[in-house]
Structure formats: C-alpha cells, structure tokens
Amino acid sequence: MFHQCLELSSVSPYFQELLVYMGQHSCYEQGCEAIEKLLRVEVNAMQLQRLTTTYGERVTALLEEPTAALSVDRQQVVYAEVDGGMLLTREQGWQEVKLGRVFSSQARYQQSDGQTGIRTSEYTAHLGTHQCFEAKMSVLTDKYEHLEERLVFITDGATWISNWLNAAYPRASQILDFYHAKEHLGQFAITYFSNQQQASQWIELQAAQLLEEGLEALMADITALPAGNEAVEKQRKSLLNYYRNNAYRMNYPVYLAKGWCIGSGAIEAAHRTVSQQRLKLSGQRWTQHGAQCVLNLRVLRMSNRWHELQQLIKHAA
C-alpha cells in the first residue's frame, strides 16, 4: 500500500469527487483520518475544507436552475414543507437555517416499523434571510404551480411563510402542521387545568375532535369552558385568536378524507439529515459562507443530483 502527501494540483477528477463527498459527509478532521486509513493518502483538514468550499460555492448555479418536475397523476399531490433550525456562526452567533423539502405523494411508502418513508425528495437550504430562501424554494415549487390545490404546503404557520405563499401561490393548499395546532391547545390546557392528568385527557379528546369534527366544534368547546382567572382568560383569548387566524389552513377532516398528510415530520427529519448531522456536531462554529457551501453539497446529494457535481468537476479538470 502506498502512503503519500496529497498535492491538490495533481488530483484526478475522480479523487476530487471523493474528497468533496467526504468533506460534506464528515467533519474535516475525521474526513482526513478516513482518507488516510482507507487510501493511505495524507490530506490535511485545510486542504479538504478548501476543496469542499470551492465546489460548494460552484454548485450554487446548479441549484438555481429548475429541474424536471416529478411525475404526478391526477389523484396525487405534491407536498412542499418549510421550516427553520438554528446554527452557530462566527459572524452572528446563532442564525436560522431555512430548509425546504418537496416530494410527491407517490414517493411515500410504509416502512417495516410502521413509519412512513419517502423514496425521493428535492431539497433546498439557506442560511440567511427569508427573502433569499423564498427565491431558492421557488425554484423547486414554481414547476408545480399548475397543480393548484394539489400543491400542498405544510408549515408551522410562521408569518413570513404565510405572506410568501399567499402572494406567490394563492391557488395552492396550505395546511398548518397538526402538531403545532395541538401544541397551542396543550399550552392552554396546562394553564386552565390544575390537574396534569385531566389536562392530558382533555388535550387528547379535543385533538381527536379537531380531526373528526373540525375547528368550529373545537372552538365551541374551548369557549364553553367555565371562566377562569385573568391568566386563563388571556390564554383562552390568545388561543381562539390563533385558531381564527389559521382557520383557512386547519380543515383537517377534509384533508384526511382526501388522504393528505397533515404533519411536518418530513421536514423535521430533513433538518436532522441535511443540516444537523454535519453542521451541528459538538464544538462546531461555522462561517456563514462555509456553512452555506456544505449545505449546498448536502442538498445536491440528498436530491439525487450528485452526478451533476461529478460533471462539474470533470469539466473543470
């Protein structure tokens, strides 16, 4: 077995690809260690970081180009989910990483453990303002605008997301993630009921009613509860206002009757696999540019577009 110090200027396109793959997959120190153990080639962390960042920046143009739309028949829908997570940066401390995931209902399947899996998805990610993220996400969703109500956005109800969707996709369907709706119900119950078991039972009963009978029935039950102290009444008013403002995306009985998803588990899982597994390791603190470059590469790989990077490296050689 050979053992030599790497000179990046003489690296083949294939080996460059392996290095970039390792750079987006593992922290740079561990990536270097794996390369040395497996290939007997010494690479230092700075070399690996530089190459990863270089190609992470170059694939930006690829991610800005629309790709072919997923095949969807007349009974199927396309889901688009959006959510944010926090990342520690050198320039601004904790900053939000906004992540988007798009997949068709045909891509969903039942796993052996009873959970739902998704075969293929398209992803985008942005560390920064929601305006820049909206532009990136639109690359994925514009091609499904013709589906109208069968383009289904499942979100946490954030104001900036609502404003964007109402302006850009007025004919699409919006669903408030059911677990966010239930979470607000739980916050009120904890304030209203002194007994925790009673609160838990009431939450489950009302959540079931929301799914089966709809929002009006739930709001009627909340309104009919006997008056409480000032804190309780303030919380009740806040909860009812929240539901009124989100009523247009809380028609859960109709969504379930159509067989639609009502939860944001897919995007929460994406946060773990796209960003957290690589960018939130112990002790890590990123530059904004470096983090975005790694996010670009991970988005490309998880969207099954790694072959585009292979071609980019090959043509740059």
With respect to residue 227, please indicate whether it lies within any of the assigned structural domains.
yes
Indicate whether 185 and 173 sit together in one domain.
no
Is residue 71 included in any domain, yes or no? no
The contacts of residue 83 (CB under 8 Å, 6+ apart) are 98, 99, 155, 156, 264, 267, 268, 271
What is the tens place of the pLDDT at every residue in 205-259?
Answer: 999 999 999 999 999 999 999 998 999 999 999 999 999 999 999 999 999 999 9
- Quick check: is 278 in a domain? no
Q: Is 311 exposed, middle or buried (0-12, 13-18, 19+ CB in 10 A)?
A: exposed
Q: Of residues 11 and 301, which shows the higher confidence score?
A: 301
| In the block, residue with structure tokens 């970039």 | 20
Share of the chain above pLDDT 70, in %: 97
pLDDT band at 153 (very low <50, low <70, confident <90, very high): very high
CB within 8 Å of 315: residues ≥ 6 apart = none
CATH of the domain at 127: 3.30.420
**231 and 312 share a domain?**
no
Whether residue 154 is found in the same domain as residue 260: yes
pTM listed for this prediction: 0.92
**Same domain, residue pair 174 and 186:** no
In a domain, 279, yes or no: no
Same domain, 138 and 99: yes
Do 29 and 170 fall into the same domain? no
Q: Are residues 117 and 265 both part of a single domain?
A: yes
Same domain, 200 and 56: no
Shared domain check, 297 and 214 = no
**Domain span at 209:** 181-241
Could you tell me if 58 and 194 lie in one domain?
A: no
Q: What angle do CA 45, 50, 56 make, to 5 degrees?
A: 120
Residue 224 is assigned to a structural domain of this protein: yes
Inter-CA distances, 183 with 50, 126, 187, 204, Å = 43, 27, 6, 11
